[in-house]
Amino acid sequence: MTRKVTFLVKRIVKEGFEEPRLPHYATEGASGLDLCAHISSSVAIPPMERALIPTGITIALPPGFEAQIRPRSGLAWKHGIMVLNAPGTIDSDYRGEIQIILANLGKEPFTIQPGDRIAQMVIAETLQALFEEAHDDLPVTFRGSGGFGHTGL
């Protein structure tokens, strides 16, 4: 069974806007909460351009948690709409409005309507690393410093 944890969320009420939709799971087994556009009118994103789309919500994550912002697979596949800095990170000490950087990698303009589901948010536990400077070589591994395709196609 999936562990459930309660987090605080607040709607940002803006004159002339519909009430923002709270993050919600589309299905019982979903890992990501849908985030919706909180805009007063449609926003067109031309091909190879980007837009910052507000969600109308702010959240309070306790220390030890982050929210990861990811693209919605249907928007990515069907229209080339991506979250530009995916996964975006919302830190536990951030209390501002969640805004989504959407990029249109498609060939046609894409229009976001008020209330559209534009991204998904996954809540994840985190830890903070403590680094200790090594004065000798790091421990040897089979891989070593190989990277960027060193294992072939």
Query: pLDDT digit string (tens) for 50-104?
Result: 999 999 999 999 999 999 999 999 999 999 999 999 899 999 999 999 999 999 9
What is the pLDDT at residue 89? Answer: 96
Positive or negative torsion for Cα 70, 72, 77, 80: negative
- The closest alpha carbon to 90, from 128, 129, 62, belongs to 62
> pLDDT band at residue 22, thresholds of 50, 70 and 90?
very high
What is the pLDDT at residue 54? Answer: 97
Mean pLDDT for the chain?
A: 94
Residue 4 has pLDDT above 90, yes or no: no
**Average pLDDT rounded to a whole number, residues 28-48:** 96
| Beta-strand runs (E) in the chain | 8-11, 33-36, 43-45, 50-54, 57-60, 65-70, 81-83, 88-90, 99-104, 110-112, 117-125
| Cβ-contact 97, 20 below 8 angstroms | no
> pLDDT band at residue 149, thresholds of 50, 70 and 90?
confident
Rounded Cα distance, 145 and 137, in Å: 12
Distances (CA, A) of 135 to 35, 131, 132, 139: 46, 12, 9, 12
What is the pLDDT at residue 15? Answer: 86
> pLDDT band at residue 19, thresholds of 50, 70 and 90?
very high
What is the pLDDT at residue 142? Answer: 87
Q: Where are the domains of the chain?
A: 8-125
**Average pLDDT rounded to a whole number, residues 121-148:** 91
Rounded to 5 degrees, what are φ and ψ at 124? -135, 145
CATH 2.70.40.10 fits 8-125, yes or no: yes
